[in-house]
Structure 1
């Protein structure tokens, strides 16, 4: 496995862990979540958005023959602006 594929696997593993944690929190009734759990849910959503953004940008660079490692994670604020 080359470094680019290894890095992609790391990102996908991170996404999987975040999705699992998010799912576990969502399985609790939303109205029963504590303020700390709701805050964690927002953090998870932001982290997932950042991971997916990074993965898409890495794949785009690789598709066009560029170094996928040139893609760096964007801040949560920057990724949030792209969603709007």
Structure 2
């Protein structure tokens, strides 16, 4: 069995729930979103993660995901 593994760096772009504007950490200072786990096919997103269309498989209550670790720590309640 031949298995190839690779890592790729790319810019994540998000459309937050109840919004139509694209947010990315490359172009914005902050892109806070709830800490959720999503299962999807890469071909479904085309590089933009529309949280209005993608359904969360699991919710991590008290966790806010943001561009920088200190932003995440200050925004999260860490329940």
TM-score normalised by length of structure 2: 0.23
TM-score normalised by length of structure 1: 0.22
Point out the structure with the larger helix share: 1
Structure whose alpha-carbon radius of gyration is higher:
1
Point out the structure with the larger strand share: 2
